């Protein structure tokens, strides 16, 4: 079914997310928590950074209680290229005239972080996704990667 590796879980979730998107024309922000062959599905509804941190703190508690081993965050997002060596700031992508709309999946386990992105294409009422692009994110850490960590970290 799901597979035991993070990559297999990400491929499974990508297939399911693509089906939801192509059926509904959008995908809500979601977190899928995995423990063995069980999945905890959480839809996210935050309006600002304070609500996001509160929701994620609550979900972290649930993940710890349920002994979640890995999770995948799914969201529609904006993407834009930046210059090599440049660290983008919040809002850079949405304000970039060359931005792309994507469906993004971030998969996290205690040992690795991976992503899958698919470009979103729109033509009137017609909506479709490009091919999935998988990447090993290596040591990337941020607010959405710490849900399995014991101690919270500070990110600017």
In a domain, 153, yes or no: no
pLDDT band, residue 150 (cuts 50/70/90):
low
What are 56-111's pLDDT values in tens digits?
889 999 999 999 999 999 998 888 776 777 666 666 666 677 778 899 999 999 88
Is 111 within a domain?
yes
- Can you read off the two tokens belonging to residue 42? 């959480």
- Residue 1 located in a structural domain: no
The reply to whether 156 falls in a domain is no
| Phi, psi for residue 151 in degrees, rounded to 5 | -105, 135
**How many domains does one find in the chain?**
1
Query: Domain residues for 83?
Result: 6-145
- Whether residue 151 lies inside any domain: the answer is no
Q: Is the separation of the CB atoms in 72 and 106 below 8 Å?
A: yes
Contacts 24+ apart (CB under 8 A), 45-51: none
Q: Specify the 3-state DSSP secondary structure of 27.
A: coil
- The neighbour count for residue 27, using CB atoms within 10 Å, is 22
For the stretch 23-59, pLDDT in tens is 998 899 999 999 988 999 988 888 888 898 899 889 9
33 domain-assigned: yes
Greater model confidence, 46 or 16: 16
> Is residue 51 one of the residues assigned to a domain?
yes
Give the integer Cα–Cα distance in Å for 1 and 70. 16
CA distances 55 to 30, 43, 64, 149, Å, are: 12, 10, 14, 16
């Amino acid at each position: 079914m799901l597979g035991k590796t993070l990559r297999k879980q990400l491929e499974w979730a990508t297939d399911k997310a693509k089906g939801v998107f192509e059926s509904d024309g959008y995908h809500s922000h979601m977190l899928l928590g995995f423990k063995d062959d069980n999945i905890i599905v959480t839809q996210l509804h935050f309006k600002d950074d304070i609500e996001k941190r509160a929701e994620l703190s609550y979900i972290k508690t649930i993940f710890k209680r349920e002994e979640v081993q890995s999770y995948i965050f799914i969201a529609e997002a904006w993407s834009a290229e930046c210059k090599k060596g440049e660290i983008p700031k919040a809002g850079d992508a949405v304000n970039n005239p060359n931005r792309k709309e994507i469906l993004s999946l971030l998969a996290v386990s205690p040992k690795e972080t991976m992503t899958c992105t698919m470009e979103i294409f729109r033509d009137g009422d017609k909506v479709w996704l490009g091919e999935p692009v998988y990447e090993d994110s290596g040591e990337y850490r941020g607010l959405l990667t710490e849900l399995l960590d014991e101690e919270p970290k500070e990110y600017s």
